[in-house]
Copies of this chain bind each other. A is one copy, B any other.
Amino acid sequence: GKPEQEVLLGKLLNQKEFDALALLLESLPQEQRLSTWQQIPPESRIDILVEMRSDPRESLLDAMSLDELDALFKDLDAEDLVELTESLPPRLVDRALLAMDERQRKYYEVAQQYADNLAGHWIDHHLYVLPQNAKVRDALRLMRRELPEYVDAVYLVNRAGHFSQAVRLGAVIGAPDHVHLTDLVEPDFSQVRAEENALDAALKVQRSGYSALPLVDESGALLGRLDIGVASEIVNEYYEGQIMAGAGMDEDEDLFSPVVTSAKNRAVWLGINLMTAFAAAWFIGLFEATLQEVVALAVLMPVVASMGGIAGSQTLTLIIRGLALGQVSSGNRKALLVKELRVGGLNGAIWSLVVGIVVTFWFSSPLIGFIIALAILMNIVAAAFSGVVIPIILDKLRLDPALSGSVVLTTVTDIVGFVAFLGIGTLILL
């Protein structure tokens, strides 16, 4: 009820649980969301907005007055604005930039030089940097001043500002003041290039065992770092995107977007699907005469299409994951295809036998049983082939296999299924 929710709101605000507050706002219908937003004090608003998905966030930003927005922009730092930029009209971005101090504005411009799918876009500037000839006492001086989130190493740069090596804070703390940091460096400390794919870079950070990795430009100049908090957001957003793409949506979709917006977002996907469904229907239409003659074929044809669709989607899912992880490459494509064809052949043989027997008894016709068995075997093998080949081709064309893979695959398995079943039926029965 209402009072309960206000107690929860107060508690979350008190404990600065901005992520939970973002989630709470996302889970409210529009009207309640706006009235709850009014209860949130201005100083907490920016921290909540940056945690929100962009569609629900925009529903709040759109409802704010210029005065409220100015209050929001007062203490904005570069990283917050990078996060908000996609949700703000350009004139409001300019207004926010005007309110920003010189240094933060410069940081913002560096980040905007890189698209949001590149590591450089997500740069963080809280870092410990020292020249290569620095000593332990210099590092300790830095640490005594401030220790930002996710800092567990000091980065050493050469005179040109290029990243050279890193020293773990643990090594610094234990060592005498006069020791050179270069005597304490970590062997093989990884770095991230600003031009690198953001997901690859984020996974590299998550796996490094460090809380952050240095971020360098093409020349090797140290620009900043990518920390594991941001890296985790990038990775989680990627996975959410993959899951939502399977249904033709994106990860920013608002649970309570206005009905018209939501219908529009989803209409494209329904339209694409309609075209493929009509294409399949057209192929079925080629066999009208057969269907009129043997109505059992009409009854059974969805079974053939669906077995192919399921078998294909299994292969497809495995290959899409493999492509994303880098498990699938030109070196093992052929071996993969052979293995999936074998799996398809085996499952095709088993299940076509099962279906053949069931159908033989159901329709008291061994002939129809034989026809559907053959069609299912063909369709499952075709599905295995398509499940490997389609995502690899889409990936080469730089289309997201998670988004378009299943539509293309289903079109193939529908058409192969219907044509094989009705085609063999026509040949044998008419």
Q: Which of A71-79, A101-109, A280-288 contacts B (4 or more CB under 8 A)?
A: A280-288
Asked if A95 is at the interface of the complex by the 8 Å CB criterion, the answer is no
Main secondary structure of the interface of A (DSSP, over half): helix
Is A321's CB under 8 angstroms from B240's CB?
yes
Asked if A113 is at the interface of the complex by the 8 Å CB criterion, the answer is no
Q: Contacts A255-B328, A267-B350, A318-B253 known; A277 to B303 CB distance under 8 Å?
A: yes
Asked if A325 is at the interface of the complex by the 8 Å CB criterion, the answer is yes
Q: What copy number does this chain have within its complex?
A: 2
Determine the residue in chain B with the shortest Cβ distance to A414: B302
Q: Which residues of B contact A143 (CB under 8 A)?
A: 170, 173-174
- Mark each residue of chain A from 328 to 340: 1 if its CB lies under 8 Å from any CB of chain B, else 0: 1101100110010
Asked if A361 is at the interface of the complex by the 8 Å CB criterion, the answer is no
Asked if A322 is at the interface of the complex by the 8 Å CB criterion, the answer is yes
Is B318's CB under 8 angstroms from A255's CB?
yes
Q: Contacts A243-B243, A255-B322, A291-B299 known; A262 to B343 CB distance under 8 Å?
A: yes
Determine the residue in chain B with the shortest Cβ distance to A235: B236
* Interface residues on chain A, number (Cβ under 8 Å): 113
- Mark each residue of chain A from 284 to 311: 1 if its CB lies under 8 Å from any CB of chain B, else 0: 1100100110011011111101110011
Is B229's CB under 8 angstroms from A232's CB?
no
Q: Contacts A249-B317, A306-B273, A326-B23 known; A256 to B339 CB distance under 8 Å?
A: yes
A337 to chain B, nearest CB (A): 11
Asked if A355 is at the interface of the complex by the 8 Å CB criterion, the answer is yes
Is B244's CB under 8 angstroms from A347's CB?
no
Q: Which residues of B contact A91 (CB under 8 A)?
A: none
A-B contact pairs, 23 of them (CB 8 A): A16-B188, A27-B326, A143-B170, A147-B174, A150-B211, A152-B152, A232-B232, A239-B240, A244-B317, A246-B246, A247-B317, A255-B318, A255-B332, A259-B346, A266-B314, A267-B347, A273-B306, A280-B303, A281-B302, A281-B303, A288-B296, A288-B299, A302-B418
